[in-house]
Amino acid sequence: METILILDFGGQYNQLIARRVRECSVYCEVKPYSTPLEELRAIKPVGIIFTGGPDSVYLDSAPHVDPDIFTWGVPILGICYGCQHMAYSLGGQVTPAQDDSAREYGKTLTRYDTGCRLFKGLPEEGVSWMSHGDYMAKVPEGFALTARSDACPNVAIADENRGFYGVQFHPEVNHTQHGVDMIRNFLFEVCHAKGDWTMGDYKNAAISHLREKVGSGRVLLALSGGVDSSVAAALLAEAVGAQLTCVFVDHGLMRLNEGDEVEEAFAKWDLNFVRVDAERRFLDKLAGVEEPECKRKIIGEEFIRVFEEEAKKVGAVDFLAQGTIYPDVIESGAGDAAVIKSHHNVGGLPDYVDFKEIVEPLRMLFKDEVRQLGRELGLPEYLVSRQPFPGPGLAIRIIGDITKERADILRQADFIFREEMARYGEDRNVNQYFAVLTNSRSVGVMGDGRTYDYTLALRAVTTSDFMTADWARLPYELLDKVSTRIVNEVKGINRIVYDITSKPPATIEWE
């Protein structure tokens, strides 16, 4: 399989690079910069991308890849730190910017040499997204300057003979105009990739890999009924069939009627389906707990304890399967990355797990890729298109203490919000939307009487990859309808607010 190798130097946009490459139907793998060269060479990449990173290449502590990689005869694209790393490794000079004008952050008007293959077919100028405080004082021998800005004459460099390219901006982010076209040019004009990788290929490769890994072993999967776990279940069912037992833990923190819908949806699949009513057990564990990370850890550990108990009932179980996807891994922190928030299926696992090994067949996929894989596996569209729902469920959408009463209030309010979103057709325009029950109470007036009830927050975002997100501009008429219905139909809520914060600085979920 044709592969682009992405070497990770710890930048904040690194996974977006992989996403952009895959959008071009080219397979890629992300590897740490410190991966031994023999392992990287075994991938037989048709091209290599160096990612950005927070370091300065001239520091002793800076990450560096073995310079022998430049002798492979494989095209390389360096982005931001990756560009400076290439220049530094090949004899150039990188220094701190001498004055503020040489530092560039944010949207910057950039002029391109469209005779360079990287910028072929692009306008001669456009906005790029800069984020660098270092300066290439000297570019390596054989490199030409192929893009510039008012503050910097060497925004991009290229050695076309060797297929080496470097840009000091980030083509992978939406803020860079024609950034995806630049990545596409690198893939097809420079690396001569065929662009023939599909989710069908991934499905076949994943099934083959799972069969080899699992062998004759038995697999236990946490089936929440969300997109991720459902696709993981279908993939495993396709691979190992009756060796798979899916445990649906009904922890009492699901959306309205969701438990019954999940059980019905999987009734026709060739797998062992076990539904566990654990509502009381989870609510008792969570009683009085308000700190979000504690909630996640408690729920993650309790999930595992339930799995262990069910595993003993069904006999020997060798593997615990999880629907972990790429954003889960990134936000939970990996390597030098910061922990934004832990995910129950990544950071919340207890030290002792009574299984041979954990398998995560979706670990390298983004959410939209998971949905596409679900379609390839023949899952029904209503399940594939289901709104993202966190493993801890409503526990992290209830701010403060969790009780059955508060969970029921949120369930009803969230159902009304989702129902009206569908009625207005906004469910097709928004990537994720939900309600949050805050722990703020305020005075209201209903039926000429005083109330002192909860404030409910509505959240809706648009995003292509769930790494960044913008708040959705929902019609006022829709918000008015939702607010009116919730206040009138759900006892315990007397005030509705709408969250207009993007990611970053906020995360999509509140906790």
Q: Residue 95: what pLDDT?
A: 85
Total residues belonging to the chain? 511
Q: Residue 381: what pLDDT?
A: 83
What is the tens place of the pLDDT at every residue in 251-292? 999 999 888 888 887 777 788 999 999 999 999 999 999 999
Amino acid at 384: V
Domains of the chain, residue spans: 3-190, 199-384, 397-498
Which positions are annotated as active-site residues?
Answer: 80, 170, 172
CATH of 3-190, picked from 3.30.70.1150, 3.40.50.880, 3.40.50.10190, 3.40.50.970, is 3.40.50.880
Confidence of residue 329 (pLDDT cuts 50, 70, 90): low
pLDDT above 70 for 131: no
* Span 348-372, average pLDDT: 75
Q: Is 59 exposed, middle or buried (0-12, 13-18, 19+ CB in 10 A)?
A: exposed
Q: Which of 243, 271, 261, 199 is nearest to 359 (CA)?
A: 243
- Alpha-carbon span 197 to 280, nearest angstrom: 47
Residue 144's H or E segment, with its range, is strand 144-149
Q: List CB contacts of 416: < 8 A, sequence separation 6 or more.
A: 482, 485, 486, 489, 490
SS3 state at 322 = coil
Tell me the pTM: 0.69
Q: Is 410 exposed, middle or buried (0-12, 13-18, 19+ CB in 10 A)?
A: buried
* Span 430-450, average pLDDT: 90
pLDDT above 60 for 345: no
The first and second tokens of residue 502, run together, are: 């993007």
Q: Return phi, psi of residue 465, to 5°.
A: -140, -5
- Alpha-carbon span 217 to 238, nearest angstrom: 15
- Alpha-carbon span 8 to 86, nearest angstrom: 14
Q: Residue 339: what pLDDT?
A: 42
Determine the angle formed by the axes of helices 404-423 and 476-489, rounding to 10 degrees. Answer: 150
- Alpha-carbon span 430 to 424, nearest angstrom: 12
397-498 folds as GMP Synthetase; Chain A, domain 3 (3.30.300)
Q: What whole-number percentage of the chain has pLDDT above 90? A: 59
DSSP conformational letter for 497: E
Q: Residue 406: what pLDDT?
A: 97
SS3 state at 390 = coil
Please state, rounded to an integer, the average pLDDT across all residues of the chain: 88
51, 79 Cβ separation under 8 angstroms: yes
Identify the bridge partners of residue 94 per DSSP, sorted by sequence position: 136
The first and second tokens of residue 259, run together, are: 């438990």
Identify the bridge partners of residue 277 per DSSP, sorted by sequence position: 250
Q: Return phi, psi of residue 281, to 5°.
A: -60, -45
366, 325 Cβ separation under 8 angstroms: yes
Distances (CA, A) of 418 to 191, 406, 423, 437: 45, 18, 9, 15
DSSP conformational letter for 186: I
Q: Which residue has the tokens 């409503």?
A: 394
Q: Which residue has the tokens 């040489």?
A: 102
pLDDT above 50 for 333: no
CATH of 199-384, picked from 3.20.20.70, 3.40.50.620, 1.10.10.10, 3.30.70.20, is 3.40.50.620
| CATH topology agreement for domains 199-384 and 397-498 | no
Confidence of residue 240 (pLDDT cuts 50, 70, 90): very high
3-state percent breakdown (helix, strand, coil) of the chain, nearest 5: 35, 25, 40
Q: Residue 130: what pLDDT?
A: 77
Confidence of residue 368 (pLDDT cuts 50, 70, 90): confident
Q: Are strands 244-250 and 272-277 parallel, antiparallel or unpaired?
A: parallel
465, 17 Cβ separation under 8 angstroms: no
Q: Are strands 164-167 and 156-159 parallel, antiparallel or unpaired?
A: antiparallel
Name which of 62-71, 123-132, 333-342, 380-389 the model is least confident about: 333-342
Q: Return phi, psi of residue 149, to 5°.
A: -130, 175
pLDDT above 90 for 77: yes
- Alpha-carbon span 8 to 13, nearest angstrom: 10
Distances (CA, A) of 285 to 255, 300, 313, 353: 20, 12, 23, 19
Confidence of residue 194 (pLDDT cuts 50, 70, 90): very high
